[in-house]
Structure 1
Amino acid sequence: MLEIMKQLALDAVDKESLADFTIGTVSSVSPLVIRQEDGPELTERFLVLARSVTDHEERGQARIWTENEPDRWSEYRLIRRNGLKQGEKVILVKASGGQQYVVLDRAAKGGEE
C-alpha cells in the first residue's frame, strides 16, 4: 500500500512539473508572437518578458576621476535597445499550469551570438 501511495505522489509531481524549458523563435515583433520548437505559437497574452529582452532605460551614477581632478560622481542615463527581433531564438520557461511562459533570454548555439 505504501509503495502505491509513493508511486501516485511521484506521478502527480511529474505531471505537474514546476517549470519546463523550451526554445522558441520570434515569428513577429508587433504583435509579439513566438513559435515553440515543440509546440504551438505563443502570443503576447501568454508571454512574460525578462528585462534582458526588452528596450529599457537605466539610470545611475559613475565615479569619474583624472590625474588633475579629484573624484566626482556623475549621473548617467543609459538606454538599452534589447527588444526582440524577428527570427531570433529565445529561451522559454513554462510556468506551473502552462498558461504563462517567461522569455528568459536569447538562445545561442555552441557559443554563437
Structure 2
Amino acid sequence: MPSLVEMIQKISKRAVEESQPVAIVYGTVTGTDPLRINIEQKLTLEIAHLVLTNNVQDHMVEMSIEGGIKRNYTVYNKLQEGDTVILLRQQGGQKYIVLDKAVT
C-alpha cells in the first residue's frame, strides 16, 4: 500500500499534467494567407491562436554603423509554407507563441 507522501506526490503530478502547463511543441506551416500551422499531425492552428515574434515575421530595424547615420532596414523573416517552427504553448493550450523557425 502506498504511503501518504507517495499518494500526495501522485495527485500533485496528475494535477499539474491535467492543467496543461507551458510546453514546447513543433509545427509545420501549411498556409500563409491566412497563416496556418499544423502541430502533432492532428491540430491546425490559425492566427487567432498564435502570437508571432519578430523572429517569424517581416519587420523594420533601425541601424547605424559605428555612430554613423541611422537608417531603417527591413528584415525579411516571414513564414513560408513548409517551414518548421518552434512554438511555446501557453498554460491551458489556448494560445501558442511562435518563437522561431527550426533549422534542420
What TM-score, normalized to structure 2? 0.85
1:106 and 2:68 aligned: no
Larger radius of gyration: 1
What TM-score, normalized to structure 1? 0.79
In structure 2, stretches of 5+ residues that fail to align are none
1:19 and 1:2 map into 2 onto residues whose CA distance is 26
SS at match of 1:14: helix
Conservation of the 8 A alpha-carbon contact between 1:26 and 1:33:
yes
2:26 and 2:9 map into 1 onto residues whose CA distance is 33
2:17 and 2:45 map into 1 onto residues whose CA distance is 24
Could you tell me how far 1:17 is from its partner in structure 2? 4.0
Percent identity of equivalent pairs: 31
1:91 and 2:86 aligned: yes
Cα deviation digits, residues 3-57 of structure 1 (max 9, x gap) = 3223211211122242222211111101001111343100000011111000000
Conservation of the 8 A alpha-carbon contact between 1:57 and 1:80:
yes
CA-based RMSD of the aligned residues comes to 1.6
Runs of 4+ residues deviating >6 angstroms: none
Q: What count of residue pairs does the alignment treat as equivalent? A: 101
Cα deviation digits, residues 82-109 of structure 1 (max 9, x gap) = 1001111111111100000111111122
